[in-house]
Structure formats: C-alpha cells, structure tokens
Amino acid sequence: MNLELLTNQVCDTCRAVGGYIHNEINNIQNSDIKEKGVHDLVTYVDKNAEERLVSDLSKLLPESGFIVEENHDVKKATEYNWIIDPLDGTTNFIHHIPVYSISVALMRKNEIIIGVVYEVNNRECFYAWEGGQAFLNREPISVSETSKLDDSLLATGFPYNDYSRLDAYLELFKNLILKTRGIRRLGSAAIDLAYVACGRFDGFYEYGLHSWDVAAGAFIVKQAGGEVSDFKGDDDFVFGREIVASNMNIYEDVMNAINIYFK
C-alpha cells in the first residue's frame, strides 16, 4: 500500500466534500436542524457529506470498514477502518461561524496510519501518513518550539452534554488561564489539533470527545513532532474520550496542571 498516494487521494476527496459543505451553508433552514442528543445537533449536510465520504473512501480501499458519527449501520472491518467526522463543528456551521472541518483517519488494526483534517473555509488541508512528515497544503509543518507554559497559547473545548466533571474542568481552565497567554475555544477539536500540529496553538486538551473528533488530528500532531496522550498520560486518547496534545516542551507542565484535578 502506497500510503503517500492514498493520503493525497483522501485529501482530494475531502476537498471535494468540503466544497459541498461550503456551498450548503446558506441553504440551511431551522427545519433542517435535528437534535440527536442533548445539544448534539445534526443536519442533512452532515449526513450527505458522510455518505459521500464513505462512498469515495470505499472505492479507494474496497476492503475497509468504517467508524462514523452519523450512520451506525456502516460496518467495521477486520484490518482497515476509516474513522470519519464529516462535519466537525456542526454548531458553528449552523450558526454561520466559519470554523468547521472534515476529519478522516485510517486505522490498521489498532494503529492510525493516515490522518487528514480539512478546514473548509480557509481551504487548509492538514495531513500525514505513517513513516512521513506532517503537511499543510503540501508544505511541511511542525509543532511550536515554545518552551515555557507562560509563553504558550492553548486551546480547549467544553462539554455540551457530559457535565459530570465540569466543576473540576472549570478549575483547570482557571489554573491554565493564569499560567498562559490565553486559552481559545474554536468549536472543532479536529481544527484545534491541526493548529497544534502547525504551531498556531502550543497545546490542546479536552474531555468528552469521540474517536472521529480526534483520530486524524492526534495522528497529525504526532507526525509533526508533538506529544499526545489521555489525561493519565497513557495512549488511550482515540477511544478514551479525553486528550492532551502539545509540543514536547510544555507537555509535562500541562499534564501537571491536569493531574491536580483529574487523577
């Protein structure tokens, strides 16, 4: 399998589907917005984008299966599975806030080997494959070299339906606000991770996420020279519902802050 070629084909697919998403933003009506869970929104655009991604990726790798956000009738395969979020940042999309993305990862057994995050409005495609570098629109990228937490800019997200650890999370937020240049909340974990990979953010942390939110972006961060873990410092960040990603220099400081509130 030529992973570089396959990654470039995935990028082309994401660009095409991203064009569809971009063209539909002015067509969304209130009647098109459905609530699949508490504050968990979906539109026909999410579903159509996912169907197109599944169709196109199936052609690229016919033996593959899928782990997807919207259609749970799609089946997993034994060896290769695509992990897809067709529209990460649906709430932003619905409210015409131009921060949303497509996230696609390819997993072989239990290891991610391809990651692509396509930021729709800026037409920025972040991608990496096993054994290669990380790229943004064909240019190599790497995590920042910021060496002090005090000089860092972090990103996070807030839970929209799992409030079980919210009090501790807000205390952590306060702690890190006081120790950094600031914390941004964009509303798309995939973009947050892509921005860590290219050095715009120095770090990112969040809980309550799904595999399709983080699989691609986390892999790109690692290929860009960053560190990624769950809140315990372990590797269960794709399916473990919590993630920390940063450059190597501030990772320990971010983890020390997290460990005060999350044991």
* 3-12: pLDDT as tens digits: 999 999 999 9
Among residues 112, 141, 170, the one where a domain terminates is: 141
How many domains, the chain? Answer: 2
Q: Is the pLDDT of residue 194 over 80?
A: yes
Q: 155 and 123 in one domain? A: no
Q: What is the mean pLDDT of residues 219-241?
A: 97
Domain that holds residue 130: 3-141
Q: 223 and 107 in one domain? A: no
Q: 209 and 115 in one domain? A: no
Q: 125 and 24 in one domain? A: yes
**What residues contact residue 161 under an 8 Å CB cut-off, 6+ apart?**
37, 38, 39, 40, 208
Its pTM surpasses 0.75: yes
**What residues contact residue 237 under an 8 Å CB cut-off, 6+ apart?**
214, 218, 228, 229, 230, 243, 244
Q: What is the mean pLDDT of residues 160-187?
A: 94
What's the pLDDT score for residue 38? Answer: 59
Q: What is the CATH number of the domain that holds 159?
A: 3.40.190.80
What's the pLDDT score for residue 28? Answer: 86
Among residues 115, 141, 167, the one where a domain terminates is: 141
Nearest by Cα to 209 from 89, 42, 124? 89
Q: 109 and 227 in one domain? A: no
* 97-106: pLDDT as tens digits: 999 999 999 9
What's the pLDDT score for residue 40? Answer: 67
Q: 253 and 200 in one domain? A: yes
What's the pLDDT score for residue 79? Answer: 96
**If you average pLDDT over every residue of the chain, what do you get?**
94
What's the pLDDT score for residue 198? Answer: 98
Among residues 86, 118, 141, the one where a domain terminates is: 141
What's the pLDDT score for residue 236? Answer: 95
Residue 228: which H helix or E strand, with range?
strand 227-229
Q: Is the pLDDT of residue 70 over 90?
A: no
Q: 127 and 217 in one domain? A: no
Q: 114 and 10 in one domain? A: yes
Q: 162 and 130 in one domain? A: no
Q: What is the CATH number of the domain that holds 74?
A: 3.30.540.10
